[in-house]
């Protein structure tokens, strides 16, 4: 029998506690929605789908439950400072993502009900199964939505965005009053006053906001981008998101030129981003670049086919939309790979990057970034100082320097004494907590300049990320044997 050692209190085991919380909330949702179903249906049979059906009830209940569960999951992370919700943008991120989860749940369960209704033609659901099925749908929705919030990353956000767009547009197309809508263009779905039009326009508006959330998360920590390049990538993606929302706001029948302008502008912004990406993000994989070029070429060919009457505009819009959002998902994954490779390169060079490329689940409970809250929240922020400190010690000692020298620069930067550092290690303070609780950050940190892990520390915008890289830079200088009088910056004169 293998002794795995002490596990520590449950509150210190992030993944276990999150899993248990999600399970408990799912059980609570099961009971609450089952009771609500009892109040709505009593002990009567109910149809599978359609008005007054168990499918309709479950879809609406799950929409509310899913949105609330996502918000609850994000609030739990806020309480654990992994990361915190800061400012209006963070609140709007949470609201948009909660709505997206709620709508996805509603559309998904509606689709399930329709499929089951077609499979069991004329069947009704007995009273007890009505309660059980309604409760089970809510339990699954709450469980998944809560964990989605707890494990949110740009990669997961990209998937949610794709699912949300597909389900929203599909639902609108299936419920459109005009079965021949596709003969004109995709935007025809949004020009009527029925529920189909509302679903289409809301899908585009919320999806547009989600693109801006993804843009900020994806560009926050591009490791090899210049600040100029990072801002251009961010601006291009934000334009795509804002213009996508505007397509849903300005209807083609009422505001044709504005609608056409923003739709065209979205395509132009995407094209500029694809062709300038190599300049703006020099480290991006060269194998990825031709993918974007090919996508733009396909869209251009389809536009020509439409101009000569060979394809309908609907076909061009659908294919172009699929290609654009496929590229965005692939771009996010390539940025994540580039980030991990940069971290590995820094580690191989002996530079402590404060975050291994593949940290353990126990040590790194948060994902690479946490959109839907503090989108600037890099995975490094939730990394325990206790796991980084030994890397620092190994680095300086391997180069013939001492722990005392390491403590000198850490004290100069943060104001922590030896006892304070020991306490931060003992209570496994995250890096966010480590700097938030620092007794006295040095007044001359603006004098820390130079490159660490391919990034100029003085150009880092996020305050917490900059503090972490200051620390990395100082430790690196100790290891390289720089004079302590030069490391501990002070104004000249």
In the block, tokens 């536009």 appear at 303
Per-residue pLDDT of the chain (493 residues; tens, 9 = 90+): 444 444 444 444 667 788 999 999 999 999 999 999 999 999 899 999 888 899 999 999 999 999 999 999 988 877 765 566 777 878 888 888 898 899 889 888 988 888 898 899 888 999 999 999 999 999 999 999 999 988 877 777 878 888 888 888 887 877 777 777 777 777 777 777 766 777 788 888 888 888 888 887 777 666 655 667 778 888 999 999 899 888 888 887 778 788 888 888 888 999 999 999 888 877 777 888 999 999 999 988 988 888 888 877 778 888 888 888 889 888 887 777 766 655 554 444 444 444 333 333 333 323 333 443 333 446 678 888 888 888 888 888 888 888 889 999 999 999 999 899 988 888 888 898 899 999 999 988 889 988 876 678 888 888 888 899 999 999 989 988 888 888 998 877 5
Do residues 165 and 203 touch, judged by C-beta distance below 8 A? yes
Task: Assign 3-class secondary structure to the chain.
Answer: CCCCCCCCCHHHCHHHHHHHHHHHHHHHHHHHHHHHHHHHHCCCCEECCCCCCHHHHHHHHHHHHHHHHHHHHHHHHHHCCCCCCCHHHHHHHHHHHHHHHHHHHHHHHHHHHHHHHHHCCCCEECHHHHHHHHHHHHHHHHHHHHHHHHCCCHHHHHHHHHHHHHHHHHHHHHCCCCCCHHHCCHHHHHCCCCHHHHHHHHHHHHHHHHHHHHHHHHHCCCCCCCHHHHHHHHHHHHHHHHHHHHHHHCCCCCCHHHHHHHHHHHHHHHHHHHHHHHHHCCCCCCCCHHHHHHHHHHHHHHHHHHHCCCCCHHHHHHHHHHHHHHHHHHHHHHHHHHHHHHHHHHHHCCCCCCCCCCCCCCCCCCCCECCCCCCCCEHHHHCEHHHHHHHHHHHHHHCCCCHHHHHHHHHHHHCCCHHHHHHHHHCCCEHHHHHHCCCCCCCCHHHCCCEECCEEHHHCCCHHHHHHHHHHHHHHHHHCCCCHHHHCCCCCC
> Residue 318 and residue 462: Cα distance in Å, rounded?
37
Is residue 163, in this structure, part of any structural domain at all?
no
> Residue 80 and residue 84: Cα distance in Å, rounded?
8
Strand partners, 92: none
Same domain flag for 195 and 130: no
Same domain flag for 140 and 186: no
Is residue 7, in this structure, part of any structural domain at all?
no
Do residues 59 and 156 touch, judged by C-beta distance below 8 A? no
Same domain flag for 286 and 221: yes
Same domain flag for 314 and 409: no
Is residue 476, in this structure, part of any structural domain at all?
yes
The CATH number given to whatever domain includes residue 480 is 1.10.8.290
Structure tokens at 242: 């804002």
Q: Provide the residue count of the chain.
A: 493
309 sits in the region (left: phi over 0; alpha: psi -120 to 50; else beta) called left
Do residues 478 and 405 touch, judged by C-beta distance below 8 A? yes
Kindly report the backbone phi and psi dihedral angles of residue 117, in degrees, each rounded to the nearest multiple of 5, phi listed first. Answer: -65, -40
Same domain flag for 138 and 183: no
Is residue 359, in this structure, part of any structural domain at all?
no
Same domain flag for 345 and 424: no
Is residue 6, in this structure, part of any structural domain at all?
no
Is residue 73, in this structure, part of any structural domain at all?
yes
In the block, tokens 């654990």 appear at 80
Same domain flag for 229 and 318: yes
Across 376-394, b (16+ Cβ under 10 Å) vs e yields: bbbbbbbbbbbbbbebbbe
Same domain flag for 416 and 466: yes
Q: How far is CA 235 from CA 203, 212, 266, 337, in A?
A: 22, 9, 12, 22
Q: How many domains does one find in the chain?
A: 3
Structure tokens at 445: 């940190």
Same domain flag for 268 and 314: yes
Same domain flag for 212 and 303: yes
Among 176, 142, 148, 6, smallest CA distance to 62 is for 142
Between CA 78 and CA 86, with CA 82 as vertex, the angle to 5 degrees is: 50
Structure tokens at 37: 């179903």
**Domain carrying residue 20:** 12-151
> Residue 29 and residue 195: Cα distance in Å, rounded?
28
Structure tokens at 359: 């940290």
pLDDT of residue 322: 86
In the block, tokens 């505007």 appear at 246
pLDDT of residue 366: 30
- List of long-range contacts for 341-346, beta carbons under 8 Å, 24+ apart: 342/223, 342/224, 342/283, 342/453, 342/454, 343/223, 343/453, 345/453, 345/454, 346/452, 346/453, 346/454
- pTM for this structure? 0.63
pLDDT of residue 216: 79
Strand partners, 46: 125
Is residue 166, in this structure, part of any structural domain at all?
no
Q: Does residue 117 have a cis peptide bond before it, meaning omega lies within 30 degrees of 0?
A: no
Report the chain's terminal Cα–Cα distance, integer Å: 66
Do residues 251 and 187 touch, judged by C-beta distance below 8 A? yes
Same domain flag for 188 and 334: yes
Same domain flag for 325 and 393: no
Is residue 1, in this structure, part of any structural domain at all?
no
């Amino acid at each position: 029998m293998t002794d795995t050692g002490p596990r520590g209190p449950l509150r210190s085991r992030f993944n276990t506690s999150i899993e248990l919380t999600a399970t408990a909330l799912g059980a609570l949702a099961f009971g609450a929605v089952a009771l609500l179903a009892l109040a709505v249906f009593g002990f009567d049979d109910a149809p599978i789908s359609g008005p007054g059906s168990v499918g309709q009830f479950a879809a609406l209940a799950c929409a509310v439950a899913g949105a609330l569960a996502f918000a609850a999951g994000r609030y739990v992370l806020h309480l654990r400072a992994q990361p915190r919700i800061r400012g209006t943008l963070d609140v709007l991120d949470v609201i948009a993502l909660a709505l997206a989860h709620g709508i996805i749940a509603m559309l998904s369960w509606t689709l399930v009900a329709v499929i089951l209704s077609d499979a069991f033609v004329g069947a009704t659901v007995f009273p007890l199964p009505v309660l059980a099925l309604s409760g089970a749908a809510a339990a699954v929705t709450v469980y998944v939505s809560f964990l989605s919030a707890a494990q949110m990353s740009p990669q997961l956000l990209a998937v949610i965005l794709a699912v949300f767009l597909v389900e929203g547009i599909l639902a609108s197309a299936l419920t459109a009053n005009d079965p021949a809508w596709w003969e004109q263009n995709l935007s025809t779905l949004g020009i009527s006053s029925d529920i189909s039009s509302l679903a289409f326009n809301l899908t585009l508006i919320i999806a547009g906001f989600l693109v801006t959330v993804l843009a900020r998360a994806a560009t926050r920590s591009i490791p090899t981008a210049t600040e100029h390049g990072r801002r251009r990538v961010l601006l291009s993606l934000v334009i795509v998101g804002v213009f996508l929302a505007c397509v849903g706001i300005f209807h083609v029948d009422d505001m044709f030129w504005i609608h056409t302008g923003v739709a065209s502008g979205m395509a132009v912004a995407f094209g500029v981003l694809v062709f300038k990406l190599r300049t703006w993000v020099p480290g991006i994989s060269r194998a990825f670049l031709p993918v974007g070029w090919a996508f733009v070429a396909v869209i251009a060919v389809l536009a020509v086919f439409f101009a000569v009457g060979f394809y309908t505009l609907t076909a061009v819009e659908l294919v172009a939309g699929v290609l654009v959002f496929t590229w965005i998902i692939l771009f996010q994954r390539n940025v994540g790979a580039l980030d991990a490779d940069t971290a590995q390169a820094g580690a191989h060079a002996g530079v402590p990057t404060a975050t291994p490329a593949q940290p353990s689940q126990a040590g790194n409970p948060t994902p690479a970034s946490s959109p839907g809250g503090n989108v600037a929240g890099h995975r490094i922020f939730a990394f325990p100082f206790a796991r980084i400190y030994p890397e620092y010690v190994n680095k300086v000692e391997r180069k013939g320097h001492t722990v005392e020298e390491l403590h000198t620069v850490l004290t100069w930067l943060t104001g922590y004494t030896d006892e304070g550092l020991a306490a931060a290690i003992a209570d496994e303070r995250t890096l966010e907590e480590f700097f938030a609780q620092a007794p006295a950050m040095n007044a001359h940190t603006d004098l820390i300049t130079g490159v660490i892990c391919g990034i100029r520390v003085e150009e880092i915008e996020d305050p917490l990320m900059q503090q972490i890289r200051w620390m990395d830079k100082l430790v690196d200088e100790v290891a390289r044997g720089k004079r302590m009088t030069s490391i501990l910056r002070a104004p000249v004169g």
